[in-house]
Amino acid sequence: MALLVSASFDLKSLLTERSWTQALQEVFREKYFKDLQESLGQDYSGAKQIFPPKEKIFNAFNLTPIDKVKVVILGEEPYCNKWEADGLAFSTPKGPPFPPSLDNIFKELEKDIQGFKRPAVGSLEKWAAEGVFLLNAKLTVEAGTDSHKDYDWQKLTDQVIKIISDQCPFVVFILWGNFAQTKLTLIDDEKHTIIGNKHPTLVSIETANCKCFSETNAALEENRHSPVNWSLA
């Protein structure tokens, strides 16, 4: 029965943006992708609570084509509480209270970007439309567990980071925390700008003051790209 369930789950069909479907054609043929699809088919069959909703798994890709990517913000995995994850790193469709990491990102924006006003909801889709690729290294999570850490999502997302590094002329990569900074070897640092700082957690926000957002815009403008409008209000 499990095989029938997983066979009906077509993971690649959830990726609808043409430039990404073309870029990942070889990935779709790899055994690990087929294994990932089978595991997720069973997980999303209803026996478990998995986030984000399956139609949002590739939300970051579907909202930001490769040729529009000018900033990458890398997260580790989706929020694991009900209704919080929307397929974009650090983003949530909920209103306050926000998840702690997003709350601290808003605090940093209030300090760093003049006139930034905290939005009523935590969706970062507006950034995605501006060319900010909000990528989680692992695209799914089971409620209350870290069981998907053993899935091969990072094989896929590491390839995605490499594709962006190779194909895009200039990108600012924002890597918060030790985990994100393990991806440095995938990025051509002579071609792109890398901004690293502490992860936006409760313990780091008081000392962070990273100016990541204004530094990102300065790097974009220096390389003749339009800055990001960080406003979400």
Question: Distance (Å, rounded) from C-alpha 26 to C-alpha 205?
Answer: 40
Average pLDDT in the 175-187 region? Answer: 93
Q: How confident is the model over 77-135, as pLDDT tens digits?
A: 999 888 899 999 999 999 999 998 999 999 999 999 999 999 999 999 999 999 999 99
Sequence spans of domains, the chain: 2-222
pLDDT of residue 5: 42
Question: Distance (Å, rounded) from C-alpha 138 to C-alpha 45?
Answer: 19
Average pLDDT in the 35-59 region? Answer: 93
pLDDT of residue 149: 80
For residue 56, pLDDT beyond 90: yes
For residue 205, pLDDT beyond 90: no
Q: Identify the burial level of 21 via C-beta atoms within 10 angstroms of its C-beta, where 0-12 means exposed, 13-18 middle and 19 or more buried.
A: middle
pTM: 0.93
Q: How confident is the model over 93-103, as pLDDT tens digits?
A: 999 999 989 99
Helical residues (DSSP H) of the chain, grouped into ranges: 2-7, 18-23, 25-29, 31-43, 59-63, 100-112, 125-129, 153-167, 177-181, 205-208, 212-222
Per-residue pLDDT band for 20 (boundaries 50, 70, 90) equals very high
Token pair 């002579």 in the structure block, residue: 190
For residue 201, pLDDT beyond 70: no
Q: How confident is the model over 4-14, as pLDDT tens digits?
A: 444 578 999 99
For residue 1, pLDDT beyond 50: no
Architecture of domain 2-222: 3-Layer(aba) Sandwich (3.40)
